[in-house]
A and B are shown apart, each in its own frame.
Chain A
Amino acid sequence: MLVVKNLTKSFNSAGGEVHALKDVNMTINTGEFASIIGKSGSGKSTLLSMLGALDVPTSGSIQVDDIDIAKLSAAKQTAYRAKKIGFVFQHYNLIPNLTALENVMLALEFGGMPASKRKARAQELLTEVGLDEDEQLRKPTRLSGGQQQRVSIARALANKPAIVLADEPTGNLDSETGKKIFDLLHSLTRSENVTIIAVTHDMDIAGKTDRTFRLKDGQIVIEK
């Protein structure tokens, strides 16, 4: 279970203090698929980075299975990201110098899997997301956007995370491919009982999730 209480985040920028998140409260149950919608600049990515321990909140708490991740040391936060969180980004963010297989193996390395087991596990994951053997050995530049996003989903799921955080995972894909990727995420997480929190602009997609949060100026205005 994920419980967010009184979460605020402010940035000091040249034009003064920016309140990206203001007193956000939310609860998401384990295995739920939640979507976050809202206009550009409403604080969606900021919220996701707090949940993923990529940044620390200004105040408030984020309880993941009774551990407040906002209060963890930097080293513990890194370990939390490696083991408990899977990220899927709008721009895929695969390591360009590594093949699809090596990208997944990299996440497995950070997750602490012994080197001897990584390759088989990575192949299994990539096959699951629909990449054939030849594609698995290609570097990201030689894969389509949809294929790259599949690799990044395989990478996100590599260490059997508790939560998958996706920031506009279909934002760079055409609607048909986007739908396929969404369905893939949906089915994979259903079978593994993973909590998914996805930021999206696509109202079709948002409509199919278990929960939807709408952010406006750093505050949750509608919760479905």
Chain B
Amino acid sequence: MYNFFFYAVPEHFPFLLQGALVTVELSLISMLLGTLLGFFLAVGRLSARRTLRWPLDAFVEVVRDTPLIVQLLLIYFSLPEAGIVLSAFWAGIAGLTLNLAAYLSEVFRAAIVAVDKGQREAAISLGMSPVAVYCRVIIPQAALASLPTLGGYFIALLKDCSLVSFISVNELLRHATIVISDTFDSMDTYIMVAIIYFMMSFVSARIIRYIELWLTPSNRRATISVPLTMDKEGAR
């Protein structure tokens, strides 16, 4: 205990935090790119003709049926043989993004399909073009519906980032390995790593919850003087 608080923490915590910062960067960038790619995958798989659809379906299937770590190793070690050389960091981003996109495309697809038929019909019956129906009604509602799931995927991603230590990205877990090889103190180091992961996930979950609440339509109106109008209505 004494050793942990008065030696290990002050000595190595800052270095581990540096790694954690990279983990956060990896997560945020992959989340952003993965969400975008996943969205286009979902729309493509729903709307494209069969000939265009099957490669997309196949991609999603292959990604979902192979381990992320294998995908990362392939991207980092095998792609260079095909002439595509990525730094460890960007190979990590690429792997995490492709993986996330495949899963999210399923999430988005389900959300798009689940939008109430009446919403589509209302939009059509106002004279909207199919594109307008999609952009103005279907997509916004599907996006709102996928938000909670998206948050869950972000937390999972944050932890999946530890896998990119295998391709030598200097993120949290890899920094931990470095500390351990210096100090041979694996116990204290892994406790610190666990604490940092926990804090990152915990804080992310709070932030995500906050974003969700903020984006939920019926909460956004909160600042308007509701009681006043309610009273008026109630009075008549």
A and B, one complex? Answer: no
